[in-house]
Amino acid sequence: MSQNEMDQLRVQMDDVNLEILELINRRAEIVQQIGQIKNKQSIKRFDPVRERTMLDHITDNNSGPFENATIEHIFKEVFKASLELQEDDHRKALLVSRKKKPEDTVIDIKGAKIGDGNTHFIMGPCAVEGYDQVAEVAETIKGRGLKLLRGGAFKPRTSPYDFQGLGIEGLQILKRAADEYGLAVVSEIVNPAHIEEALDYVDVIQIGARNMQNFELLKAAGDVNKPVLLKRGLSATIAEFINAAEYINSRGNGNIILCERGIRTYEKATRNTLDISAVPILKQETHLPVMVDVTHSTGRRDLLLPTAKAAIAIGADGIMSEVHPDPAVALSDSAQQMDIPMFNEFMDELEDLVRRLK
C-alpha cells in the first residue's frame, strides 16, 4: 500500500469519525428529550426491556464485519453514556446545584456572612442545661469576636432514657444569653410542628443527622424564611445529602448551610469517620456554604484541632464544635466537649492558621 493510499484512507477515517460524532450527539439530544419526558412523568430512566429491543433491532441489521457481540458491547457503552447524560441533566435541574447557580450562596446571620470566603465558627454546648452554663459560654465566644452560639434544646438521643433537652425552655435560655451578648442562636429542631414556634428564638434552624431524611421536617424548614443548618445523615451518601437540601430549597428557602459531621464506617477509633473530601465535593456540586462539625465527627477532644485545621485547609466555610464550662458534668457528649481554656487554645491555633492561609 502506497503512502498516498494510506493518507486517503486516513482522510476517509477522519470523515467517518466526524459522522459518528455527529450521529452520536444527535442521538444524545433525543436521549435528553426522552429524559425530560421521563422526568415529568417520574418514570425510571433505566429501561432494560427497551434496551434489549434496541440491541436486537441493531444486531438484526448487522451485516459485519463486526460480530454481534462486539456491536452489542459498543452500543451498550453508548446506552450507558446516555443514561449518565440524563442523570446529569437531572442534577443540573437541582436548585442547590452549582450548575443551576454558579455563584456562591452567602448567608447573613446577624452580620456573620457564611460563605463569604472567611472562616466562621458555631460554638456552644452540646445541650442547654441552664442559664449560667449557656451565659458563660456566650461570654467566652463573644470575647473571641465570634457571633454564632449553638446549644441543643431538643436532643434526639440514641437512647430514650438519655437527657432529651429542655425543649422550648432551652430555646428561651439560648435566646436570652444570645441577646445579652449580641450573638445569633443555632439550635436543632426535631419536630415539624415546632418550626413556627422556634422562629422567635433561633436565628438558624439546625436539622440533625438523625433527621436528614425526615422529609416532613425538611419541608417545614423549607416553608419558613430562616437559615437552615443541615447535617449529613449518619450513613447518608453525598447524593442523599444534596437531595435533602433540595427538599428545603424546593419549598422556597434557599438559605441552607451544609454540615459534614462524619459518617458511620467500620472504624471504631473515632465516633464517626470525618469524610473530609465531602467538603470540596459539596462545594463543587452545590453553591451552598459547607461547614464541618469536628465534635460529632471525631467524638474525641484530641482530634478537634487537627480536624478543624484540615477542614479549613480543604475549604470549609466554617467549623462547628462544642464548648462547655465543665464538660465532666455535661448531660450529653461529656467526652468530646472542650472546656473554656481548651477552647481558647483551639481558637488561637485556628486564627493563626487562617491568617497564614490568607
Binding region for Mn ion (CB under 5 A)? 126, 333
Nearest-approach distance from CB 93 to ligand PEP, in angstroms = 28
Q: What is the DSSP string of 187-247?
A: EE---GGGHHHHTTT-SEEEE-GGGTT-HHHHHHHHTSSS-EEEEPPTT--HHHHHHHHHH
Q: Kind of pairing, strands 112-114 and 120-124?
A: unpaired
**Region from 13-21, 39-47, 204-212, 236-244 binding ligand PEP, contact rule CB under 6 A:** 204-212
**Region from 10-18, 50-58, 75-83, 205-213 binding ligand PEP, contact rule CB under 6 A:** 205-213
Nearest-approach distance from CB 187 to ligand PEP, in angstroms = 9
- Binds 325: which of Mn ion, ligand PEP, none (CB < 5-8 Å by kind): none
d(CA 279, CA 301): 21
Selected binder of ligand PEP within 114, 209, 244, 316 (CB under 6 A): 209
**Cell triple for residue 288?**
451552598
How far is residue 353 CA from its own chain's centroid? Answer: 24
- Binds 231: which of Mn ion, ligand PEP, none (CB < 5-8 Å by kind): ligand PEP
Q: Which residues contact 142 (CB under 8 A, 6 or more apart)?
A: 181, 182, 183
Residue found under cell 437531572: 90
List the x/- string, 251-290, binding to ligand PEP by CB under 6 A: ----------x-----------------------------
Give backbone dihedrals phi and psi of 12, rounded to 5 degrees, phi first.
Answer: -60, -45
Selected binder of ligand PEP within 35, 153, 188, 283 (CB under 6 A): 188
When the beta carbons of 94 and 188 are compared against ligand PEP, the nearer one is: 188
d(CA 105, CA 103): 7
When the beta carbons of 206 and 214 are compared against Mn ion, the nearer one is: 206
- Binds 228: which of Mn ion, ligand PEP, none (CB < 5-8 Å by kind): none
Among 186, 174, 181, smallest CA distance to 145 is for 181
Selected binder of ligand PEP within 231, 271, 287, 324 (CB under 6 A): 231
Selected binder of ligand PEP within 115, 124, 125, 152 (CB under 6 A): 152
d(CA 264, CA 272): 5
* Chain residue at closest Cβ approach to ligand PEP: 208
d(CA 232, CA 215): 14
- Binds 208: which of ligand PEP, Mn ion, none (CB < 5-8 Å by kind): ligand PEP
Selected binder of ligand PEP within 208, 227, 289, 327 (CB under 6 A): 208
* Number of DSSP helices (H) and strands (E) in the chain, helices first: 12, 10
**Cell triple for residue 181?**
451578648
When the beta carbons of 203 and 333 are compared against Mn ion, the nearer one is: 333
Nearest-approach distance from CB 186 to ligand PEP, in angstroms = 9
Enclosing H/E stretch for 333: none
When the beta carbons of 317 and 333 are compared against Mn ion, the nearer one is: 333
List residues binding ligand PEP (CB under 6 A): 126, 152, 188, 208-210, 231, 261, 293, 296
